[in-house]
Amino acid sequence: MTTHLPTVASAPPPTRNPRHRLPQPPSARRRKGWNTAWGLTAWGAGLFFFLPVAWMVLTSFHSETDAATNPPSLAAHLTLSGYREFFGSATGQSPLPALINSATASIGSTLLVLLLAVPAAYALAIKPVRKWRDVLFFFLSTKMLPTVAGLLPIYLFAKNTGLLDNIWLLVILYTSMNLPIAVWMMRSFLAEVPISILEAAQIDGAGLLTTLRRIVAPIAAPGIAATALICFIFSWNEMLFARVLTGVAAITSPVFLTGFVTGEGLFLAQVCAAATLISLPVLAAGFAAQDKLVQGLSLGAVK
């Protein structure tokens, strides 16, 4: 890409259009040339990064024989057979229960997280308790400890209480996994509510519920949505807990995905179809909320 630069920069200036009252100085034109080169570089790098994803989607629409060629066949005819096989036309094992389990665990835990995190964030941002920083750091510190270190006791507990292979256990665990991050995020979003408005409302005699509904909720709504989105993504993606604590009835999509590959025969198109389909909810949600994703993932430190 950089090889084009000298040409652009040293190109002879074209005859100036007399209608332009302010002709561009050569430096501005050079900068414009730079910008074109810059844009091309960015496009090139972006496509390079996207290539594996594009390859996955393309392969998912190929037949198994076309998917397994070397050199790769780009112009092979497209078919839905990979997706049909993923939905169980070959093995008879339907992915639907796993998808439903994933949805239950993700949506259920996200709702529970919000239920717990919103009041906590209120107590940390709107009417802060004393030493609220200590509390906030306590929440983050639980996120830093390796989950795998608590896995065995949780497994033994589940085994003895009959909660093994039960999707509601995952709902609880995913809630604890996302709660610290959610509290941090929600606190930073609620901290954006101006104190003066809250005081004004209090002087005007607005009760707690009215204040929450009419003032806090409208300002914090986008933040709540972003928090929910990120909790949803992390729960949807989780595999270690799901793998150890579920077996048959409660398996989630990532676990289904790992068990899906038998290693016999050609399976590339199927795998790509499965990977595409299972990533689809996260991709869709993530693309729809790119900007909020940044603010949320940086725990509100980056505005």
Partner 1 sequence: MSLMSRATSTTARVAASSRSPGPEPRTRLARTGSWARRAPLLPAMIFLVVVTQLPFVVTLVISSFSWNSLDPTSRHFAGLSNYARVFTDNELRSAVGTTVIMTVSIVAVSLVLGLIIALLLNRAFLGRGIVRTLFIAPFLLVPVAAALLWKDALYNPNYGLLNGLLTWVGQLFGSHHPAQPDWLSTMPKTAVETSLIWQWTPFMMLILLAGLQSQPTDAIEAARVDGAGPLQIFRYLTLPHLRRYLELGTLLGSIYIVQNFDAVFTLTSGGLGTANLPYSIYETFYQAHEYGQASANAVVVLVATIVIATFALRVVSSLFREETQR
CA distance 6 to 223: 47
49 binds partner 1, rule: CB under 8 A? yes
Which of 15, 93 has the CB closer to partner 1?
93
Contact between 40 and 256 under an 8 Å Cβ cutoff? The reply is no
79 binds partner 1, rule: CB under 8 A? no
CA distance 302 to 297: 9
3-state helix, strand, coil in the chain (%, to 5): 70, 0, 30
Beta carbon of residue 10, minimum distance to partner 1 (angstroms, whole number): 19
- The interface with partner 1 within residues 195-254 (CB under 8 A) comprises 195, 198-199, 202, 233, 236-237, 239-240, 243-244, 253-254
Contact between 190 and 224 under an 8 Å Cβ cutoff? The reply is no
Beta carbon of residue 116, minimum distance to partner 1 (angstroms, whole number): 4
* Residue whose token pair is 């608590």: 150
Which of 97, 151 has the CB closer to partner 1?
151
276 binds partner 1, rule: CB under 8 A? yes
158 binds partner 1, rule: CB under 8 A? no
| Local structure of residue 71 (DSSP, 8 states) | S
91 binds partner 1, rule: CB under 8 A? no
Report how far apart the first and last C-alpha atoms of the chain are (Å, whole number).
33
Which of 97, 243 has the CB closer to partner 1?
243
* Residue whose token pair is 């008879």: 92
Beta carbon of residue 227, minimum distance to partner 1 (angstroms, whole number): 13
- The interface with partner 1 within residues 4-23 (CB under 8 A) comprises none
Contact between 186 and 227 under an 8 Å Cβ cutoff? The reply is yes
Which of 96, 240 has the CB closer to partner 1?
240
Beta carbon of residue 224, minimum distance to partner 1 (angstroms, whole number): 15
179 binds partner 1, rule: CB under 8 A? yes
151 binds partner 1, rule: CB under 8 A? yes
Contact between 133 and 127 under an 8 Å Cβ cutoff? The reply is no
Token pair, residue 120, equals: 């906590």
Which of 18, 68 has the CB closer to partner 1?
68
- Span interacting with partner 1, options 4-12, 21-29, 128-136, 224-232, rule CB under 8 A: 128-136
Give the Cα-Cα-Cα angle 103, 139, 252 (nearest 5 degrees): 20
